[in-house]
Amino acid sequence: MGIVNVTPDSFSDGGLYDTTDAAVAHGRELLAQGADLLDIGGESTRPGATRPLVAEELDRVVPVIRELAEGGALVSVDTMRAEVAEAALAAGARIVNDVSGGLADPRILDVVAGSGATYVAMHWRAHADRMRDFTDYSPDGVVDTVRRELGERLEAIEAAGIGRERVLLDPGLGFAKEPRHNWELLAALDVLHGLGCPLLVGASRKSFLGSLLARDGRPRSIEDREHAHVALVALLADRGVDCLRVHDVRATRDALAVAAAMGAVSDR
């Protein structure tokens, strides 16, 4: 899943693709590099971000989705809003990637249920401007807590009429989580697989990688985290991750090719 942020303030590439033409061109480049699908987002969810108006989000994503979908791309819309999801699906999106798992706007579940679209539900506790206040996972620890809370969202999703076969789950790396929480979740993906849905993982360029690579107390800059992400991708290749949400598609494809070659040799 190649990331196309049509925003002025996303943490990694905000402002680089914040016009329709630039975003469409970037989406086409990601497809050429080997992306299977494109995730188009018009709202930054970086820590501390404020939300755009609904009209702003619609103006950002709908023209991009329409043009890419008309060109044959499989498109996902990255949104928490029912109005945006509905307009995006009408424009040709076939997947709704909701980082709130239906908590931010429960009406989004009804929109997806009536559309036949695939739904990605991420583990989420609060909007970007407040999520740092919700990193306590006691007493059960982050893995069991995330599994339970995602399970609760899955029940609500199914109750809204979205069959489990149409759902992917995302552990929500970086969202209301300290660096150590992300590593614990990555090491225990089999526990989340127990919920019976495919898993999407989005670790690309996130702050826990910057913290891992810190020098003199200063996290590695966003643009210099990709090598660590590529290493992580290679390690995740045989851990049952069904979809990787990434910025650098070519580097990710290279890592997967290496992992596949090593796996083929090991199986002989």
Quote the CA–CA distance of 40 and 198 in Å, as a whole number. 20
Specify the DSSP class assigned to residue 246. Answer: B
Nearest to 230 by CA among 205, 198, 195, 260: 205
Burial of 107 (0-12, 13-18, 19+ CB in 10 A): middle
- The one-letter code for the residue type at 209 is L
Distance of CA 205 to the CA centre of its chain: 12
Checking phi first, is residue 116 left (phi over 0); if not, alpha (psi -120 to 50) or beta?
A: left
Q: Is 180 a catalytic residue?
A: no
Kindly give, in sequence order, each residue whose CB lies less than 8 Å from that of residue 262, ignoring residues fewer than 6 positions away: none
Identify the active-site residue in 60, 205, 206, 220. 206
Kindly give, in sequence order, each residue whose CB lies less than 8 Å from that of residue 253, ignoring residues fewer than 6 positions away: 33, 34
Which helix (H) or strand (E) is 200 found in, with range?
Answer: strand 200-201
Kindly give, in sequence order, each residue whose CB lies less than 8 Å from that of residue 190, ignoring residues fewer than 6 positions away: 239, 240
Quote the CA–CA distance of 66 and 69 in Å, as a whole number. 5
Identify the active-site residue in 125, 166, 225, 245. 245
Q: Is 206 a catalytic residue?
A: yes
Residues serving a catalytic function are 206, 245
